[in-house]
Amino acid sequence: MSNLQVSVYRYNPETDSAPYMQEFQIDTQGRDLMVLNVLTMIKDQDSSLAFRRSCREGVCGSDGMNMNGKNGLACVTAVSEVIKDNKLVLRPLPGLPVMRDLVVDMGLFYKQYERMQPYLQNDTAAPAIERLQSPEDRDKLDGLYECILCACCSTACPSFWWNPDKFVGPAGLLQAYRFLADTRDNATQSRLAELEDPFSLFRCRGIMNCVAVCPKGLNPTRAIGKIREMLLSNAT
Amino acid sequence: MVTNITNLGRSGLSDWLIQRVSAVVLAVYAVFMVAYLLFHPNLDYATWSGLFSQTWMRIFSLLAFISMAAHAWVGLWTVSTDYLKHTGARFAFQAVVIFAIFVFLVWGVQVLWGA
């Protein structure tokens, strides 16, 4: 018997007047489990627990949550990476409205993503087969296209907590730069115009929480800096 | 594009640039001041007054005051839009900050060129 103490954020708006933390004891049999495995074991004890999960291998981005104070994907985070004093504390992603237990309403996050028009725009006539790109130009998209929209970065960002309706957030800005950096896209001017106000991009204070938590090892702060350089060279 | 009317530059890009440039001016002014005080351990009124009677020092100081004013406007405007969610409270705070900056700036000019 090797018991792991797990404290889980519980909230059911239909029955609870306020959120509370519920304690569970999990027998790990000495193994270092992924946090998602622990959650499924808790669900065996209490089937009312709600959380999102799908691929369980860090590809779908469904199980982003706050584990012992740090955002990450439960499926690819080992308990040993986050545990403190033999205790695991699981909370929903911070800053977004909680729908139930560990499930948050991602509406604002997706709205900001949509605002960045995350699709290729090119008003020149389409070539017969496809728009070609040199290998060097294609390399510019590395570190940008891999985002899985798990929202770990944006919900770790205080600027997004305070102004989620106005600040695009690191995830959306990484995608904005993914299309600004793409040589096949020619909507650069309208994309930059959308980001020039004091909130959309410039509310980033460069604290790099996004970089610290990204489960895919991406760097939104760098992308934001690149957009800032493009805005500056465009306007001076 | 998110609209805004009470920030200094009417644009995030210009606010950001103002913040960076004014920070450099303030850093240079602060380093100069500390160095000047270190090189004049027994500073008396005549030397201090002599420094500020020179035109270059008045221009340098006014530049630092204007930089301080712009820096404070951009910075405190940002703080108010982060933390003050009630529109009335936020606008009142911004109005007080801008008024105070105006008073301090005029006062600074009076100190530099008055008496």
Residue B62 domain-assigned (yes or no): yes
Q: Which pTM was predicted?
A: 0.93
CB spacing of A202 vs B2 below 8 angstroms? no
Q: Which residues contact B21 (CB under 8 A, 6 or more apart)?
A: B67
Domain ranges of chain A: 3-104, 107-235
Residue B2 domain-assigned (yes or no): no
For residue B4, the model assigns a pLDDT of: 85
> How many H-runs (helices) and E-runs (strands) does chain B carry?
4, 0
CB spacing of B11 vs A197 below 8 angstroms? yes
Q: What is the pLDDT of residues A84-101, one digit of tens each?
A: 999 999 999 999 999 999
For residue B24, the model assigns a pLDDT of: 98
Q: What is the least distance, in Å, from the CA of A100 to any CA of chain B?
A: 26
How many A/B residue pairs have CB atoms within 8 Å? 50
Q: What is the pLDDT of residues A107-148, one digit of tens each?
A: 999 999 999 999 999 999 999 999 999 999 999 999 999 999
Pick among A111, A159, A168, A196 to test the B interface (most B CBs inside 10 A): A196
Contacts of residue A202 in chain B, CB cutoff 8 Å?
12-13, 15-16
Q: What is the pLDDT of residues B9-26, one digit of tens each?
A: 889 999 999 999 999 999
CB spacing of A235 vs B16 below 8 angstroms? no
Domain range A107-235, CATH architecture: Orthogonal Bundle (1.10)
Residue B6 domain-assigned (yes or no): no
Residue B81 domain-assigned (yes or no): yes
Task: Order the strands of the A87-91 sheet from edge to edge.
Answer: A20-27, A3-10, A87-91, A64-67, A70-73
Q: What is the least distance, in Å, from the CA of B69 to any CA of chain A?
A: 18
Residue B3 domain-assigned (yes or no): no
Query: In terms of residue numbers, what domain contains B91?
Result: 14-113
Element at A72 (helix H, strand E) = strand A70-73
Chain A, nearest residue to B85 by Cα: A162
CATH homologous superfamily for the domain A3-104:
Beta-grasp domain (3.10.20.30)
* Residue from the list B2, B17, B83 with its beta carbon closest to the beta carbon of A199: B2
Q: Which amino acid is at A228?
A: R
Residue B41 domain-assigned (yes or no): yes
Contacts of residue A162 in chain B, CB cutoff 8 Å?
81-83
pLDDT exceeds 60 at position B91: yes
